[in-house]
A and B are shown apart, each in its own frame.
Chain A
Amino acid sequence: MSVLEFDSVTKAYGRKKALDNLSFSLGENKITGLIGRNGAGKTTMLKIAAGFMKETSGDVRAFGEHPFNNLMVSANMIMIDNDMNMPTALDLEEIMASAADFYHNWDMDLAKKLFDYFSLNPRQTHTGLSKGMKNTFNAILGLASRCPLTIFDEPTNGMDAGVRKDFYRALLKDYIAYPRTIIISSHHLSEVEDILEDILLLKDGQQFLHMPVEELREYAVVVSGKEEAINSWLRGHEVFHKSDQAFGRSYAVIRNDLTDDQIGVAMKSGLEFSTISNEDLCLYLTSQEKGGIDDVFNKG
C-alpha cells in the first residue's frame, strides 16, 4: 500500500510554481530522504502532504485520503520542522502530555528517556529554548509519537554534531523496532544517507529522481583525464557535469551505463574512472545550467 501519493500536484504562489506537476508515491515503512536545493519545493511538498496547506491542482492522498483539514490524517501523521508553534502557556512536560493525548502510539517512556539524555528541563517553555535545543525537543516529539507517517523537515538544524549523530541513531533504532514510513529532508545527504532506503530528489518543483539510495551510488561515474581525450570520448554519453581543472585536465560526471568495452577503450586513452559521493552527485544533478561559482569571479 502506498502511504503517501502525489498525482500531478501543482502549488502556485502567485505566478511562481513551487511544485510543478509533481507525482510520486511512497511505499509503506520505508525511510525516504527528500533532497533538493533551496527553493526546490521540499517544504511546500511536505506541508501539503501533512495537510497544512492545500495544493493548487492535482491529487494528494495520505493513507488514501486527502490530507487537508483531515483529522484521520492528522492523527496518524506528525511533521517536525523548524518553525513549530507550541502554546506558550505550556512547559515542555505539558506539551509532551498533550502529545500523548493526541497520538495513540505515543511512547512516554521513550520520550522521557530521550528528554533526560539530551538534558532538557521539563519546566522550561518551548519559546525559551535555544535553536538547537528546540529542534532536539521537536525531534523527540517526532520519535516518541511513532506516527505511521513521520515527517522531519531539516530536523538537525542548529543541533551540534554529537546530537545529530545521536538523533539519527535513535531514529534508526526506533524504526527497526517499530517500522513506519519516514520522510527526512536534509541539506546534508552525507550525514543521513546510510539510514535511508530511498531517495527522492526534487528540482524546480518536479521529481528528478526517485530510487533506492544504493542504486543512486551506481547511477553516475566520474571520468577524468586530459581535456582533448575527455572531450572526444564524451560524445554520445549523458554528461551531468563537466569542469576543466588545472594542467589541461578535465573532469566529467556521466551516466553510469558504460559497457566493459567502453571502459577498456577509455582506459587505454588514459582516462580514469572513480565514484562520486551521493551528496556531490545530487549537487551536480540539481545545479542550474548557469555554470559554477567560479564563473561569478571570471572576468570576461
Chain B
Amino acid sequence: MILNSESMKPIYVQIAEWLETEILGESIKSDEKVYSQYQLAEMLNINPATAAKGLNILADENILYKKRGLGMFVSAEAKKIIAVKRRNQTLKSLVAELVREAEHLKVTEEELIAMIQEAKRELKGDS
C-alpha cells in the first residue's frame, strides 16, 4: 500500500479503506488476523496511534473484531458490511458528483445513461 499524502483523506481513513479492499479481494479472509498497529506503522512509516485509529474504525463497524491479547481479526460478515457501506456511501457520492458534472456540461439524462452503459461494455470487453 502506498499512502497518498496529497489526498483529501486522512491517513487513518486511507488505511481503513485499503484494509477493506484487501478483505473484499479476499487477501485477508474471515477469521484471519489483520496487521497489528505496529506492523502497519512500520510498513507505512506512520505513528502507531494513527494506524490504531484506522483499525478502530473497522472494529467499530464490526468489520474487525478484537481478541484480547491476540490482535484484530476479520469478522464473518466483513465482506457484506463493506459491500453495503461502499454502495451506500462511496458509490452514492460518486454518482452525485457525476450528476453534478453532467448538469454543469448540460449532458442530458439519456446521454449520461448511454455513457454509463458504454463504460460498462468497455469494462466487460477488457476482462
| Chain A residues proximal to chain B, CB less than 8 Å | 30-31, 168-169, 172-173, 176, 190, 194-197, 212-214, 217-218, 274-275
Contact = CB atoms under 8 A, between A and B. Distances in A.
Contact of A212 (B38, B48, B49): B49
A176 B38 contact: yes
25 contacts: A31-B47, A168-B45, A169-B45, A172-B41, A172-B45, A172-B47, A173-B42, A176-B41, A176-B42, A176-B48, A190-B5, A194-B11, A194-B45, A194-B46, A195-B46, A195-B47, A196-B47, A213-B47, A213-B50, A214-B10, A214-B50, A217-B10, A218-B10, A274-B8, A275-B8
Contacts of B46: 172, 194-195
A212 B50 CA distance: 9
Contacts of A275: 8
Interface string B96-109: 00000000000000
Interface of B: 3, 5, 8, 10-12, 38, 41-42, 44-50, 53
A51 B116 CA distance: 67
Nearest to B48: A176
B12 A214 contact: yes
B42 A194 contact: no
Nearest to B46: A194
Given A172-B47, A218-B10, 13 more contacts: A172-B42, A176-B38, A176-B41, A194-B44, A195-B45, A195-B46, A197-B49, A212-B49, A213-B50, A214-B10, A214-B11, A214-B50, A217-B10
A274 B48 CA distance: 27
Query: Among A169, A172, A194, A218, which residue has the most Cβ atoms of chain B within 10 A?
Result: A194
A218 B9 CA distance: 10
Contacts of B42: 172-173, 176
